A and B are shown apart, each in its own frame.
Chain A
């Protein structure tokens, strides 16, 4: 293992700024899958995600010396990439002919880890999952870019609200508001996929009703004939 592989993110960035030609590549390789996931979900399709990620990569490489160290390096990397993606979306310089994310079908056939579902999953269940994901991603793509980015970071990537605020370079309350409004909008669009828990509370429980108490006979019990 080389020294660079053992270095922390901060050390790699410092080495890059000091002129190490390999340091930034190691840093980027370390985080690229997660950056890719964020870019893909923010942009909505793989071509635009690749373009946005390249913008962010070039910007991060060039601006590494401006990193102030007031956040984690990975947070800063995400910030640069997300901003590059949002800049593209805001400038409307993205392809809109095919608004549906196109990665689901494409990745299904790639590699041994292609499907997140277990190999033994029922094909019907797999189809339902795939269709549900498609609907969710379709609805996500229709959200305003800022709301989408907040939801991608918080609900998809699992960042805390504070971390997402650092990535998006805005107030924590702004992230909360964007998440809340985005989820509310998604709840409307995805209503057919949601279970109506409030209505279920008024309904009887599923299955057979519990047995009622047996009613006793008013006649004398029948017994064996008594001998005369």
Chain B
């Protein structure tokens, strides 16, 4: 019987040196605070949804009650979202910035109002947006020429938190099956801006600026109790970021 040597016990000299180099390159720092905050937020979301906890399966009556409660929560949330949308239109500001602030606004009307407060006029065109071939926000008009809702600004550092917040807020509310065709107007806006989206697949589209680059978040169809969200940037058919969210 041949003995297969354990690579940890009898390595060749070069291999041993490689192992030392790898050990020296080990990451020894704690998880960064922003990642801790982001994952704590995800955990809080998961824990705040008792109907989806991996507890023992409820009986039929309890399931019916849970569904009714979920329906009520959706109704309340949608009403709040609609109210927030009215506020946004009424205010008439034209910029959304989710790149500031750390507190999660969750699904409250206060949170939506916060978003309204973060509208910033003309900030996108003041230097962050790349020049040249990259589409300008002024190109992002609806197919009928009407002024469309401007891109949501995302930052690389707070991507996960922002995507999760968007899931709860007005832009991607009512994530039922009909929503997966409801994002077509955003698709048309990107197409009008010479930003082809054919290879990005199906989902609920939200136009964004990520680190200054124009693109879209694509909220994929819910599978089980999770949802994948891909970020595509104009000019690429590969997702730049992707994240899995618990479903509200």
Contacts and interface: CB of A to CB of B under 8 A. Distances in A.
Given A54-B42, A61-B43, A140-B25, A33 B18 contact: no
Given A50-B160, A155-B22, A110 B29 contact: yes
A50 B159 CA distance: 10
Given A54-B38, A186-B21, 7 more contacts: A36-B27, A41-B25, A47-B156, A53-B39, A136-B22, A136-B24, A186-B18
Interface string A10-46: 0000001111011011001000110111001100001
Interface in A113-162: 113-114, 116, 129, 132-133, 136-137, 140, 151, 154-158, 160-161
B242 interface: yes
A183 B15 contact: yes
10 contacts: A36-B31, A41-B27, A50-B160, A51-B241, A55-B243, A59-B244, A95-B240, A156-B22, A156-B26, A156-B27
A96 B39 contact: no
Contacts of A36: 27, 30-31, 35
A57 interface: yes
A116 B23 CA distance: 13
Interface in A71-118: 84, 88, 92-97, 103, 107, 110, 113-114, 116
Q: How large is the interface on B (under 10, 10 to 19, 20 to 34, 35 or more residues)?
A: 35 or more
Interface in B44-65: 46-47, 50, 53-55
Q: How large is the interface on A (under 10, 10 to 19, 20 to 34, 35 or more residues)?
A: 35 or more
B8 A17 contact: no
Interface of A: 16-19, 21-22, 24-25, 28, 32-33, 35-37, 40-41, 46-48, 50-51, 53-55, 57-59, 61-65, 84, 88, 92-97, 103, 107, 110, 113-114, 116, 129, 132-133, 136-137, 140, 151, 154-158, 160-161, 173, 176, 179-180, 183-184, 186-187, 190, 193-195, 197-198
B8 A154 contact: yes
Contacts of A16: 54
Contact of B22 (A25, A54, A64, A140): A140
Contacts of B53: 19, 21
Interface string B2-43: 001011100101110111011111111111100110111011
A48 B240 CA distance: 9
A32 B46 CA distance: 17
A194 B18 CA distance: 8
Contacts of B31: 32-33, 35-36
B225 interface: yes
A179 to B, nearest CB: 5
Contacts of B4: 173, 176
Nearest to B54: A65
B8 A194 contact: no
Contact of A54 (B29, B54, B160): B160
A185 to B, nearest CB: 9
B123 interface: no
A133 B25 contact: yes
A51 B243 contact: yes
Nearest to B15: A183
Contacts of A96: 238
